Structure 1
Amino acid sequence: MSAERQSKAPMRSIVSYVRRSEKLNDRLARAWARYSSKYLLDLGQAKGSLTVAENLRCDAAMIRSVWGRDAPLIVEIGSGQGENVVASAREHPDLNYLALEVYQPGLAHTMLMAGKSDLDNLRLAQVNAPDLLARMDPGLINEVWTFFPDPWPKMKHHKRRLVQPALAEELAKRLVPGGIWRIATDIEDYALHVHEVMDGNPKFRNLGDLPVSLPTQHVGKGTADQAKSLPHAMFMESERFGGRIVTNFERKGIQAGRVIHDLTYQVSAD
């Protein structure tokens, strides 16, 4: 990473996570010790901080320095255990991948899988994603993935959901013209939330061609069973993204009877 003074202060970070115990078991601790120097980006953070250095700048020169080449960049926000990003990086060695995650065990598991495959096109960052995005130059990213973000089910916590107008505005700048933001959720109310944030944003176009019926009012934890009786409307969503593998998390959602919602938005090429 290069460090240069920014003329503008970065946007205020969206806090869409809760810090929790991050103790690594022996297997993950060994993976961290072995692979973190290869895969984990140094963002100039204070120990334990998810906020990058104030003078950090992420530009094309940094991308070239870190990955050793110029190639399309795919960024996953909230990479979890890393199954999707590692599988895709393995399948597409011609692309650069960056996995952003706040939880150390998930990052260690991602390193373990990447290390076993000796991947050279993947890097990780333990960071609050909006904080890093705010320091990126425009047009650096080709695709952003946000798969199964924390649903924050309580009504009073919906404002903490990751997908927010501020993040959409930031991604509209960081994505290349025509770039894609792929979102997936197994929570119906979160799908409605995404439509409310994104469908009216003139900087993005909903690429979905699959009509889906959703309630037009929000429900929360304890009231979700009322959703079926609420007024519904049709929204356009996408077929399942073929580049997303079925993880254990998604499989459990399907087994519980939840519908998977894929949403695809493209930045205007203007």
Structure 2
Amino acid sequence: MQEDVNTPTENQVNGENEQNMSKTQGELQADAGQRPALYGRKVLSFVRRSARLDARLQRAWDTYADTYLLNINAGEGSLDVRNDLVFDQPYIAEAWGNANPLIVEIGTGQGENVVAAAAEHPEMNFLALEVYDPGVAHTMLLAGKQGLANLRIAQVNAPELFKAAADGSIAEVWTFFPDPWPKMRHHKRRIVQPELAGEIHRTLQAGGVWRIATDIEDYALHVHEVMDGIEGFHNDGTLTVSLPVEHVGKGNADEAASLRHADFSESERFSGRVLTNFEKKGLAAGRVIHDFTYRRV
């Protein structure tokens, strides 16, 4: 997987080149050393894959896109949210047709969980955030077969959506089994990051929660490092879990057993999460599921 790179405009390139021409080589090297490692880049938790839809999923897209897919993208093929979007209660009431509480799931995959939850809780609204065409189409297919009216889908970069969301507009946020990005140099791509946590905290209603689950031990440590120290979030976990206090990279998971461990608080399995095929595979491989509940206080 690779990160998306923002392409500067021609004017920006020319302007920077003119400034650089007036600097010595030493000054340019000093400037480069002062820049952040990701200067000029947008770090994403996913890589856009161009997967062609099969006939069944294409039919689902053609049939249900007008019903379920929110028109909030900055342009065709863009995963950015358009600049004029205000994702507030009036917008939610118009898009869903009611003022029920909204649950947002980040990275819904094939839609198994969010569709099951929407079917079980018609008194709640659900928003599925997914960037991959097959996953979006399959979610439409599952929802359309049941005629669900309380589900919408947004094919956008999740942090962009939360930046556009109004304070207190969301009841809960779910992030189940996000991409673990196991290589050490890719940990910056993990979706659970302080900046996103701040936006989620702002958009959650009082007492609202961010539910997270992972079957990767190293990612569980990452979640604790990001979330446990954030003011305004309370870890509601009641289970004591022992985790290594150092990170291991891809292919080195076995080394974690010999590292120093510490106790952390985690939650029991969230009963509102269906047992998807993905979670079944993790359990079959002997991995431990880590559940987290962080409540806005």
TM-score, with normalisation over the residues of structure 1?
Answer: 0.94
* Paired residues of 1:73 and 1:141 also in contact (CA < 8 A): yes
Match of 1:73 among 86, 89, 102: 102
Equivalence for 2:288: 259
* Paired residues of 1:185 and 1:191 also in contact (CA < 8 A): yes
1:132 positional shift: 1.0
Match of 1:141 among 164, 170, 194: 170
* Paired residues of 1:206 and 1:264 also in contact (CA < 8 A): yes
How much is the aligned-residue C-alpha RMSD, in angstroms? 1.0
1:204-245 superposed Cα distances (whole Å, 9 cap, x missing partner): 000000000000000010211100000000000000000001
1:72 positional shift: 0.6
Q: Which runs of 5+ in 2 are unaligned?
A: 1-40
CA distance in 1, matches of 2:60, 2:264: 43
1:175-195 superposed Cα distances (whole Å, 9 cap, x missing partner): 001100000000000000000
**Runs of 4 or more consecutive aligned structure 1 residues displaced over 3 Å after TM superposition:** none
CA distance in 1, matches of 2:87, 2:268: 33
Q: Please show how residues 149-164 of structure 1 align to structure 2 within 5 Å.
A: 149-164=178-193
1:143-180 superposed Cα distances (whole Å, 9 cap, x missing partner): 00000000000000001100000010000100001100
Equivalence for 1:36: 65
Distance verdict in 2 for CA 1:135–1:120, change over 3 Å:
same
1:14 positional shift: 4.9
Structure of greater relative contact order (alpha carbons < 8 Å, 6+ residues apart): 1
Q: Please show how residues 150-229 of structure 1 align to structure 2 within 5 Å.
A: 150-229=179-258
Equivalence for 1:54: 83
Match of 2:120 among 77, 83, 91: 91
CA distance in 2, matches of 1:55, 1:217: 43
Give the partner amino acid of 1:67.
Answer: W
CA distance in 2, matches of 1:46, 1:13: 18
Give the partner amino acid of 1:262.
Answer: D
SS of equivalent to 1:57: coil
* Paired residues of 1:139 and 1:176 also in contact (CA < 8 A): yes
SS of equivalent to 1:242: coil
* Paired residues of 1:78 and 1:149 also in contact (CA < 8 A): yes
CA distance in 2, matches of 1:263, 1:38: 32
Higher strand share: 1
Q: Which runs of 5+ in 1 are unaligned?
A: 1-11
CA distance in 1, matches of 2:127, 2:42: 19
CA distance in 2, matches of 1:257, 1:163: 24
CA distance in 2, matches of 1:244, 1:203: 25
Equivalence for 1:232: 261
CA distance in 2, matches of 1:174, 1:193: 22
Equivalence for 1:8: none
Higher helix share: 2
* Paired residues of 1:207 and 1:264 also in contact (CA < 8 A): yes
Please identify, of 17-26 and 32-41, the stretch whose mean Cα deviation from structure 2 is larger: 17-26
CA distance in 1, matches of 2:76, 2:54: 20
1:34-90 superposed Cα distances (whole Å, 9 cap, x missing partner): 000000000042111100111211111100101111111000000100000000000
Give the partner amino acid of 1:257.
Answer: G
